[in-house]
């Protein structure tokens, strides 16, 4: 049970001891270990691919026991999911924190969103191709549609929803506008697939595709405008 905090009538033992930090050693250590796991795993995923990277190898590289990995992540795929959370959060922040986009047209915001995601993923292309996309398999718990990743998808879809409502103030919750954010997630996955296969310099084909398809899509949502 939770211990009741009782007024320490005693003199405060400010005795933090010379070597003790104000932040508990434990909490501090946890953060560090989590980071070590993610860093080690990512490095291994990049070089050996997802399947060929063993949890034992991750633990070894992180300097911890194998079992410890599972004190932090429920499954090996959750480690990868953690990486994609950063990807999504980073892209959302990139759009939110860009003052120039405040009053930019919707398609520009969406372009920036997806573009940020792709930029983030670029250094890990091999890992993505080998593990994440190959990952869209039928029995995967981390999958793009999986329950495990649902929360991440919700965060993403919720943000897209915000952007839409912000740009289409007079939208009347039409079926289309309601479906649009969900659809956008699928659209993003398709784009990722395209991007992975895009061998044009600087992935310019993907960027062109993004530009065109977003204009088209947004114009469908704003039949009056233009």
Partner DNA sequence: ATATTTTAGTGAGTATACTCATGGATTTCC
Partner DNA sequence: GGAAATCCATGAGTATACTCACTAAAATAT
Site residues (vs a copy of itself, CB under 8 A): 50-51, 76-77, 80-81, 84, 131-149, 175-176, 179, 182-183, 186-187, 189-190, 193-194, 209, 212-213, 216, 220
Residue among 75 and 213 whose Cβ is closer to DNA: 75
Instruction: Please give the DSSP secondary-structure letter assigned to residue 169.
Output: T
Binding-site ranges for DNA (CB under 7 A): 1-6, 8, 10, 13, 15, 17, 20, 24-27, 29-30, 33, 52-56, 64-68, 70-72, 74-77
The half-sphere exposure of 181 on its side-chain side, counting CA atoms within 13 A, is 16
From the CB of 89, what's the least distance to DNA, in Å? 23
Instruction: Please give the DSSP secondary-structure letter assigned to residue 224.
Output: S
143 binds, among DNA, a copy of itself, none (CB under 5 to 8 A by kind): a copy of itself
From the CB of 157, what's the least distance to a copy of itself, in Å? 12
Residue among 148 and 171 whose Cβ is closer to DNA: 148
Q: CA–CA distance from 84 to each of 16, 151, 176 (Å)?
A: 39, 12, 28
64 binds, among a copy of itself, DNA, none (CB under 5 to 8 A by kind): DNA
Instruction: Please give the DSSP secondary-structure letter assigned to residue 20.
Output: -
What are the contacts of 182-191 at 24+ separation with CB within 8 A?
182/157, 184/110, 184/157, 184/160, 185/144, 185/153, 185/156, 185/157, 185/160, 187/213, 187/217, 188/114, 188/117, 188/156, 189/136, 189/144, 191/114, 191/118
Residue among 24 and 190 whose Cβ is closer to a copy of itself: 190
């Amino acid at each position: 049970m939770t211990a009741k905090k009782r007024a320490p009538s005693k003199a405060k033992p400010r005795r933090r001891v010379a070597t003790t930090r104000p932040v508990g050693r434990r909490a501090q250590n946890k953060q560090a270990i989590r980071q070590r796991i993610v860093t080690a795993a990512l490095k291994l995923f990049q070089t050996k691919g997802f399947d060929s990277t063993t949890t034992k190898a991750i633990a070894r590289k992180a300097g911890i026991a194998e079992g410890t990995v599972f004190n932090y992540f429920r499954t090996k795929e959750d480690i990868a999911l953690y990486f994609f959370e950063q990807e999504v959060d980073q892209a959302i922040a990139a759009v939110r924190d860009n003052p120039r986009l405040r009053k930019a047209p919707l398609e520009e915001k969406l372009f920036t969103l997806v573009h940020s995601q792709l930029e983030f993923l670029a250094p890990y292309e091999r890992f993505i191709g080998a593990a994440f996309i190959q990952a869209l398999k039928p029995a995967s718990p981390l999958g793009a549609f999986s329950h495990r990743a649902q929360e991440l998808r919700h965060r993403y879809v919720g943000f897209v929803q915000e952007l839409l409502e912000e740009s289409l103030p007079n939208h009347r919750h039409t079926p289309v506008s309601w479906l649009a954010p969900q659809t956008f997630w699928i659209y993003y996955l398709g784009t990722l697939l395209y991007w992975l296969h895009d061998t044009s310099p600087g992935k310019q084909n993907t960027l062109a595709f993004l530009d065109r398809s977003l204009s088209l899509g947004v114009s469908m949502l704003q039949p009056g405008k233009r």
